Amino acid sequence: MKSIIIGGGKVGYNLLKTLKERGYDVTLVERDEDTCRRIADDINTDVICGDGTDIDVLKDAGIKKADIIAAVTGNDEENLVICQIAKKGFNISKSIARINNPKNIATFRALGVDRTVCSTAVITNLIEYEFDRDICKIVQTFDRGTMILVEVQVNENNHWLNSLVKDLNLPGECVLASILRNERVIFPRGDTQILLNDSIHIITNRSTFPEIKKLFHNGGVQYAKQKK
C-alpha cells in the first residue's frame, strides 16, 4: 500500500522518516527545491518537487496508486484543497490533514476530510492503522500519541477465545475498556466471556504496545489462571 505526504517541513519530514523506518511505501511532495534536495539526501525515498495542489504533480507522485494522502503543509487552506482534490479527483479512500488552527476542524470534517490532526505521532499511527491488517492494532491515540487505544480481533486461533476477562494476563498499565460484539458495546466485568469475532479494546501506553502484540505472535496469550 502506498501513501503520499504533501509538505516537507518539520512535520512532513518526521512523518516521512518514521513511515520509511517502519517499511512503508511513501512519496513526499514539497515545493521548495532546497528542502527537496536536503530530504532526498537524507532519506532514501521518492521526493517530488512541486505544488501539492497541482494535479500533474500529484500524478507524478503516483496518486493514482495511492491509498492514503496526508496534507501536512503549514497552510490549512492548502491542506484542505489537497485532500479534496485527492478524494474527489482520484477517489483516494483516506485523507488526513494537518490543522494549525483548531477552529478549522469542523469545517474540514464538513467538507469531507477523513481525519484532522496536529501531531506527527498521531498521523503516523493513523496511516499505520490503515495499512495494518493484524489482529492487534492501534485504532486511536491520545495525549500526543503517548496513550493508545488497541483493538484485538478474536478469531478461532486466538487463545482468548471463550476465556473470562478475569483469567487474562495483560501487561501492566493496560485497561480492557470495552468489547464490541455484533455492533453492541459491552463494558466487561471479570466474569464476561470472550466470544468468537469479538473486538476487544484496550487502553495502554504506547511503549506497551509491542509487548501486547508479542502475546499474539509468540504462541498466544498466557493465562493468569490455568483452566482445570
Q: Where are the domains of the chain?
A: 2-129, 134-217
CA dihedral 104, 110, 111, 114 (to 10 degrees): 90
Q: pLDDT of 53-72, one tens digit each?
A: 999 999 999 999 999 999 99
Which grid cell sits at 128? 499505520
* Pair 168, 160: CB distance under 8 Å: yes
Q: What is the rounded average pLDDT of the residues 123-136?
A: 67
Q: Is residue 193 scored above 50 in pLDDT?
A: yes
What topology does CATH give the domain 134-217? Alpha-Beta Plaits (3.30.70)
Q: Is residue 147 scored above 70 in pLDDT?
A: yes
CA distances from 102 to 116, 121, 142, 199, 200 (A): 9, 18, 16, 32, 31
Q: Is residue 52 scored above 90 in pLDDT?
A: yes
Residue 225 vs residue 113, higher pLDDT: 113
Predicted confidence at residue 223, as pLDDT, reads: 37
Q: How far is CA 181 from the centre of its chain?
A: 23
Which grid cell sits at 200? 476487544
Average pLDDT over all residues of the chain: 85
- Bridge partners of 141, per DSSP, are 148
What topology does CATH give the domain 2-129? Rossmann fold (3.40.50)
pTM of the predicted protein model: 0.58
Question: How many residues in total does the chain contain?
Answer: 228
Residue 109 vs residue 92, higher pLDDT: 92
Tell me how far apart the alpha carbons of residues 2 and 141 are, in angstroms, rounded to a whole number.
22
Contacts of 10 (CB under 8 A, 6+ apart): none
Strand residue runs (E) in the chain: 2-6, 25-30, 46-49, 68-71, 94-98, 115-117, 136-142, 147-153, 174-181, 184-186, 199-205
CA distances from 208 to 20, 52, 96, 159, 205 (A): 22, 37, 26, 20, 5
Confidence of residue 141 (pLDDT cuts 50, 70, 90): confident
